Amino acid sequence: MKYAGGLWGDDYTTIFAAMLYVGNLVYTVLQAAVKLSIVLFLGRIFPSQTFRRIAQGIEVILLLHGTLFTIPFALQCTPVQSIWDRTITDRRCLNLQAVGYSSGGLAMAEDIAILLLPIPHVWQLKISLSRRLAVIALFSVGSL
């Protein structure tokens, strides 16, 4: 039992794989929900018509991303049980790496759009330059 090799039996591997499967689904949905709540919050702060239209476009993209990428993660293999049950040999699976890369790329684009969304409106505020930069920095802290 060098390096704790015997501690992970088949039961633990199955449980871990099932938890990882559920975790990926929950992460995809929650990622879209958190971003959606941020955009909705910004819409309440900046009520201009132009801002609302841009925010609504981002909201649609977030909803589509959350929905359309949950489906391939949920149905990544046929039958679905074969994701965590390695005894099922007759299975067909998607290229999850490609799905993950495309989801990650879209998530980065969404993050950048949300980060840039309030900057033009903050820049138009009638306050000193140092305060405008401070407000932009405060909005940008969420991107860290």
pLDDT at 77 over 90: no
The answer to whether the beta carbons of residues 41 and 142 sit under 8 Å apart is no
pLDDT at 6 over 70: no
pLDDT at 16 over 90: no
What token pair was written down for 72? 């391939």
What is the arithmetic mean of pLDDT over 66-80?
89
**Residue 2 or 114, more confident:** 114
- Any domain includes 100: yes
Total structural domains within the chain: 1
- Any domain includes 118: no
The answer to whether the beta carbons of residues 69 and 28 sit under 8 Å apart is yes
Degrees, nearest 5: CA angle 138-143-144: 95
- Any domain includes 14: yes
60 lies in which domain range?
2-112
Answering whether pTM is above 0.85, one says: no
Identify the pLDDT of residue 2: 59
- Any domain includes 50: yes
- Any domain includes 131: no
